[in-house]
Structure 1
Amino acid sequence: MPELPEVETVRRGLEPYLDTAILSDVELHRPNLRYPFPERFADQLNGATVLRLERRAKYLLFHLDIQKIWVTHLGMTGRFQVEQQALDGNYYHAVDTDSKHRHVSAIATRDGVARKLEFFDPRRFGFMLLLTPAELYATSWYQSLGVEPLSDALSPAYLLDMARDRKTNLKALLMAQGGIAGLGNIYVCEALWRAKLSPDRPAGKLTPKDAEALTDAIKTVLEEAVAAGGSSISDFTAATGELGLFQHSFCVYDRKGQPCRREDGGIIERKVHQGRSTFFCPKCQR
């Protein structure tokens, strides 16, 4: 499932083409994704101007001039694609090779240049909403989201407070979206390795020194992943079609049986926490 770096990569890829763009010719090629599309979804998007694009946790937020926010969750395999070449009249330059999984299409016109925007989702675990700001901010799932990990709100003091008296392990603590929003399995594994902390360490035993190391590790690994365009495992690509490159920098994720990159003699192991694979070095992570 795309995590924060991948969703941020999509946002940054779309922004040059959608910021201030006018949407038109919006078409839905099926009635639903994970959930049915909002009522009159295409009609409401037609003619709307995108005022700005934001990301909150793993959600994309398209703020529109119709006083609505187009909310998109990519699910496991959702991806936007924006055509790099401009449309020439009614002639579409690209060859569509994935029409079976194309569920939404539109034209985005900015500064007089029209481009095709499409949304694909082979497994259809993603979803789209169209809400007023008041409706969005009042939803229980939005209100329950924790702090953004790349913001100043995530600090060693915040992490210590979040972990205080908790009996759950560090892996579970970091995966819970109510504490830190947007973290997922890949980057939790990588951050714990960088901080030299075991995923099984009881959260309540986190020390101030540990919290400082873990805060720095979370921010650093996310910043590096965003700079690399995310991790292209499964079907993830950026909105412009490029693959992410951070998977080539994994230190523990999906490296079971391989030597620890710290060259300390440790061999990467895998175990399951809450149904998700956890990769770690039993020698350097304590």
Structure 2
Amino acid sequence: MPELPEVETVRRTLIQLVAGKRIDRVTVSLPRIVQRPQEPEAFAAALAGQTIRTVERRGKFLRIVLDDLVLVSHLRMEGRYGVYGQDEPVELHTHVIFHFDDGTELRYKDVRQFGTMHLFAPGEEFEQKPLMKLGIEPLDESFTLGAFKQALAGRTTKIKPLLLNQEYVVGLGNIYVDEALFTAGIHPERTADTLKSSEWQKLHEAVRSTLERAVDAGGSSIKSYVNGQGEMGMFQHQLLIYGRKNEPCSRCGRAIEKSVVGGRGTHTCPSCQKPPRPKPAARE
């Protein structure tokens, strides 16, 4: 699934490709992609005549801002956008097409068909699903050490599942949580209430720096991700631990291990990320 760096890269690409374009009409060939309004005809009718003003992001969601509407789009597993000429063949699994009055088209392709689109009046999108319960943005000025600790510190949940929970911190997925925890030297099975102040500071810095480096590299193309111009991300070549099972740790040389934490495949260095101490057995 595209995480924050990939969605941010798509956002930046779409601004270059479609900002200022006027929608002439919309074709929806898979109605379930459109969640709001539920009728694809109403969705298409509302967008006809609208001009795309900019493209923004909230967590892993794109916010396509139009004249007097906001389209909230989630790519899910394999959704992708691309801009084409109207005479170019339409690829298989293309489910929504935004036809512009200049003869170009923004096409949404989704092999897995899990992506969603919601249409709102401006500002209304933050008061309803899917954006209403999202946590703090790790690349925003609001992502201070204090806000980070307030969201997570003191909880008895393992730190990795907490970081993956979009209601606390948005945009983080499996790849970047593993990378940030390794950078901070924190084992993913440590519970939040056991982290020291110095560890919170290291983790806060690691989350931000990992995401910033990934955005600069255009995201990670682990499976099928490409940006709006069909280009792959390159951050997978900079990954320190994710996907490197049995390879030597870049810091200490120990073999990287893979386990399951919170139902997710997890990569750790047994030396650089000390596992939590077992709790003493209760006395009988």
TM-score by length of 2: 0.90
Which residue in the other structure is 1:68 paired with?
69
Of 230, 233, 255, 1:244 maps to 233
1:16-27 equivalences in 2 (<5 Å) = 16-27=16-27
Q: Contact 2:99 / 2:105 at 8 angstroms: preserved in 1?
A: yes
**Counterpart residue number, 2:254:** 266
For 2:130 and 2:105, the matched residues in 1 are separated by 31
Alpha carbon RMSD of aligned pairs, Å?
1.8
C-alpha separation between the residues in 1 aligned to 2:14 and 2:261?
34
Give the equivalent residue in structure 2 for 1:135.
Answer: 124
**What is the CA-CA distance between 1:34 and the residue it aligns to?**
7.9
Deviation at 1:31?
Answer: 2.0
Q: Give CA-to-partner distance per residue, 1:226-255, whole Å, 9 cap, x none.
A: 111111122210000001111111111111
- For structure 1, the 5+ residue unaligned runs are none
Give the total of aligned pairs. 272
| AA partner of residue 283 (structure 1) | S
Q: Does structure 1 retain, via aligned residues, the 8 Å contact 2:148–2:204?
A: yes
Q: Provide structure 2 residue ranges, at least 5 long, that are not aligned to the other structure.
A: 275-284
Question: Shift in Å at residue 17 of structure 1?
Answer: 2.1
1:78 aligns with 2:67: no
Q: Does 1:31 align with 2:23?
A: no
Query: SS in structure 2 opposite 1:271?
Result: strand
Q: Cα offset for 1:115? A: 2.3
Equivalent positions of 1:1-286 (< 5 A) are 1-33=1-33, 35=35, 38-39=38-39, 40-65=42-67, 67-83=68-84, 87=85, 92=87, 94-96=88-90, 99-108=91-100, 113-262=102-251, 264-286=252-274
Deviations 1:103-139 (A, max 9, x none): 0112335xxx542210000001111111113431221
Give the Å deviation of 1:37.
6.3
Equivalent residue letter for 2:55? L
1-structure distance, mates of 2:193, 2:216: 33
Runs of 4+ in 1 over 4 A off after TM superposition: 34-37
Alignment partners' CA distance in 2, 1:166 and 1:150: 23
- Note the C-alpha offset of 1:156: 2.0
SS of corresponding position for 2:157 = coil
TM-score by length of 1: 0.89
Q: Is the 8 A contact 2:23 2:47 kept in 1?
A: yes
